[in-house]
Structure 1
Amino acid sequence: MNFRKLLYPAVAAIGIVGLGTVAYFAQRAPQAPLEKTSSAAAVPGSSAHDKKARGVATTGKEVTVEVAKVIGMKLQDEINAAGAIQSNQSVMLRPEVAGRITRLNFSDGQTVQKGQVLIALDAAVNQAEVQQAQAELSIAKTNFKRNAELAQQKFIAERVKEESAVNVQVLEARLALAQARLSKFEIKAPFSGTVGIRTVSVGDYVKDGADLVNLEDISSVKVDFRVPEKFIDRIQKGQAIEILVDALPGKEFRAQVDAIDPQIDSAGRSALLRGRVANPAGKLKPGMFARVRLILDERENAMVIPEEAIVPIGNKNTVWKIVDARAQRIEVRTGLRRAAKVEITDGLRIGDTVVTAGQMRLKEDGAPVRIVQGGGQSGNGQQPSGGSPVAGNGGAMAVARK
């Protein structure tokens, strides 16, 4: 009895679920083809065939892009390198003999002239030796003169006269030696320049070879730098150099190649070059870090476009060129790259318009485009309806050669 009570409600529930399922799928079934045909027939001229017959264009949706003009500008083929500023002439003054300092004839950082006595050592003993040599030479010359007169009168042998002459020569050499030794006790400037900061004072006893003070000629300075060996054939003495120094921001110094080392560094595969820069104001100091730009070639009216306009395909470079509001893919040849610009050597002309943003949405040649300005503004100042355009004009790239 209980079993029958449970069986009837279960069968009823299963039936209800089945009917609901059939009704649900019946509502989701597609309409009959006959209805589609009838609907299409109800609106005359709505088919693609009718549009074509009436001359109506069937173009696709316009692609929103940003563009730029091909312009002409001056380009320089260059090499960038790091270097160091050096004095035109530099020397550390050192004594050749030991002695005590008696005079310092300069102040730290003073400009001195060539031949000026800078440091004097105690030379009392050597001065006495010079005076003694001078006295002995004077006596020898007097004896030689007297012996020459006596030999002429035949009072003495000719040999005595010759011995007197030899004695004079010996004493002249001795005097020259004493004077040379005396000169070592004065240290003179070998060239005009600026002295550094001395490390000694009056009264100090210094040994021969000890460092006293440096002397620098910075009326002009040298800059040494290295370039890769592959460029050595394109570099000649006298080529223009531009130098930037981190210690003097915003100031550019003009120079030229002064020397090229004939030996290539086998470890770094580079060549050493030396430039020379006029430095009348003395702003460039020895030891400063320098950024060197060596100009290899200049092109006065090179065609350039923004680098974001280039679309690489395999080993080829292409751009999308705008012609009559439609995009055409053009293969181009590129040259130098400078400051986010790319030189075009073949494929375009000055004044052509190329796409700089939105290339990924261009699928085929002849696609209609809608040109907007950078930042997503259309030509009439309105936001385009096809979604915000891709931002153009990315950051500047590094210089091609390092």
Structure 2
Amino acid sequence: MTTAQVQPRDWNDSIAALGTVNARESVTVTAKVSETVERVHFDSGDRVAAGQVLVTLSGNQQQAALRAAEAAATEAEQQYVRGTELVGQQLIARASIDTLRATRDSARANVAEMRADIGDRTIRAPFAGVLGLRQVSPGALVTPGTAIATLDDLSTVYVDFPVPEVRLASIAAGQRVFGSSAAYPGETVEGAVQIVDSRVDPNTRAVAVRAAFDNPGDRLRPGMLIQVRLEQRQRQALMVPEIAVIQVGRDTFVYRVLEDDTVEQAPVTLGVRGQGLAEIVEGIEPGTRIVIDGTGKLRPGMKIVEGTVQEAKSQTADAPAAAEGDAP
């Protein structure tokens, strides 16, 4: 039999939920044009920098078209310069120079278009990250939308998880979040709330919360299931061990120890639960002495004596004493 005085203690409310890991940046690298793969510059799982060349597509026809466009642009530029000189000498009409300028500008635009077309045949990493499995090989024909590889920035990952709308007012950016994964038993990672969604799901009455976690070693991968615990502001709460709380039907009570060491049932209202503790919202005051364990043997009016219980004298005083020599 154990008793203790109940006193307020520091307590952090927490919200438990299941979340999914998402990469900070994630994309499936694809081609923009239909062309044959000339060379692949990466292997599966490579870490690449932003702008690094991943795949080169064949572009012989485009290279030839570019050389022709550059030659036409050079000729148009020379014609324009020559026309400018002739206008200065008043040998041709000034209106002619406008035609030559338009021809030159059109040739320049054609060169730019050819260069852009060739640029589309060099596929680069849009940001730094880790590549997934390679999906193409040299000689393969790719078309717009053909998956070449996945690319994920895993330096920081996001974990999205739902929170009931009734807790919406208590969530704010910057709050600490702790996560754990079945892939790493016993390990906990710490992050922080980055943003709370602007909408509540009308079907689940929950709001999506996004937390950011540093990810050294790329241990957390997109798609992983994470158990998250969102800590809220610290407050004072009257917490008692859950084993001290008795539930009988709809009645909830603890055993309060009176000044004469007898016990009585004290109906209580519970708040949050966690870490083997239960919050008493109503029913007892700070400093109240209650029975922590051994409650299964207690009845109202029993007396606690040095860790054991016995019937109170008021309940046994009228019991007749057995006469000496009486038969049992």
> Considering the TM-score relative to the shorter chain, is it more than 0.5?
yes
Give yes or no for the alignment of 1:125 onto 2:61: yes
TM-score (normalised: structure 1):
0.71
Deviations 1:129-187 (A, max 9, x none): 11111111001101111111011101111122211111001101111111111110000
Q: Corresponding residue for 2:96? A: 160
Give yes or no for the alignment of 1:172 onto 2:108: yes
Assess if the C-alpha contact under 8 Å between 1:322 and 1:354 holds in 2. no
Deviations 1:324-357 (A, max 9, x none): 4332444555432223212235623358343532
CA distance in 1, matches of 2:300, 2:25: 66
Equivalent AA in structure 1 for residue 114 of structure 2: A
Give yes or no for the alignment of 1:194 onto 2:161: no
Give yes or no for the alignment of 1:340 onto 2:284: no
TM-score (normalised: structure 2):
0.86
CA distance in 2, matches of 1:227, 1:332: 28
How far residue 87 of structure 1 moved from its aligned partner, in angstroms, is 0.4
CA distance in 2, matches of 1:312, 1:210: 62
Give yes or no for the alignment of 1:354 onto 2:291: yes
Assess if the C-alpha contact under 8 Å between 1:321 and 1:355 holds in 2. no
Q: 1:363 aligns with which of 289, 296, 300?
A: 300
Q: Corresponding residue for 2:43? A: 107
Q: 1:304 aligns with which of 239, 242, 248?
A: 239
**Counterparts of 1:1-400 in structure 2 under 5 Å?**
65-70=1-6, 73-299=9-235, 302-311=237-246, 317-345=253-281, 347-350=284-287, 352-358=289-295, 361-364=298-301, 367-372=302-307
Structure 2 residue ranges without an equivalent (≥5): 312-328
How far residue 304 of structure 1 moved from its aligned partner, in angstroms, is 2.3
Q: Corresponding residue for 1:42? A: none
How far residue 279 of structure 1 moved from its aligned partner, in angstroms, is 1.2
Sort the Cα spacing of 1:296 and 1:337 in 2 relative to 1 into closer, same or farther, 3 A: same
CA distance in 2, matches of 1:207, 1:181: 14
Sort the Cα spacing of 1:271 and 1:358 in 2 relative to 1 into closer, same or farther, 3 A: closer
CA distance in 2, matches of 1:358, 1:235: 38
Assess if the C-alpha contact under 8 Å between 1:72 and 1:302 holds in 2. yes
Equivalent AA in structure 1 for residue 85 of structure 2: E
Assess if the C-alpha contact under 8 Å between 1:303 and 1:349 holds in 2. yes
| More helix as a share of residues | 1
Assess if the C-alpha contact under 8 Å between 2:303 and 2:310 holds in 1. no
How far residue 75 of structure 1 moved from its aligned partner, in angstroms, is 2.1
Sort the Cα spacing of 1:361 and 1:385 in 2 relative to 1 into closer, same or farther, 3 A: closer
Q: How large is the Cα RMSD of the aligned pairs?
A: 2.4
How far residue 307 of structure 1 moved from its aligned partner, in angstroms, is 2.0
Structure 1 residue ranges without an equivalent (≥5): 1-64, 373-377, 379-383, 387-402
Q: Corresponding residue for 2:316? A: none
Structure (1 or 2) with the larger CA radius of gyration: 1
CA distance in 2, matches of 1:385, 1:73: 32
How far residue 231 of structure 1 moved from its aligned partner, in angstroms, is 1.3
Assess if the C-alpha contact under 8 Å between 1:84 and 1:224 holds in 2. yes
CA distance in 1, matches of 2:140, 2:247: 73
Shifted more, 326-335 versus 224-233: the winner is 326-335
CA distance in 2, matches of 1:228, 1:345: 22
| More strand as a share of residues | 2
Sort the Cα spacing of 1:79 and 1:358 in 2 relative to 1 into closer, same or farther, 3 A: closer
CA distance in 1, matches of 2:231, 2:78: 72
How far residue 246 of structure 1 moved from its aligned partner, in angstroms, is 1.4
Task: Give the percent of matched residue pairs that are identical in Structure 1 and Structure 2.
Answer: 28
Deviations 1:177-236 (A, max 9, x none): 111111100000100001111011111111221111111100000011111111112212
Sort the Cα spacing of 1:330 and 1:385 in 2 relative to 1 into closer, same or farther, 3 A: closer
How far residue 259 of structure 1 moved from its aligned partner, in angstroms, is 1.7
CA distance in 2, matches of 1:68, 1:120: 75
Which runs of structure 1 show a deviation greater than 6 angstroms over 4 or more consecutive aligned residues? none
CA distance in 2, matches of 1:312, 1:147: 101
Q: Secondary structure at the match of 1:212?
A: strand
Equivalent AA in structure 2 for residue 109 of structure 1: G
CA distance in 1, matches of 2:47, 2:82: 53
Equivalent AA in structure 2 for residue 363 of structure 1: P
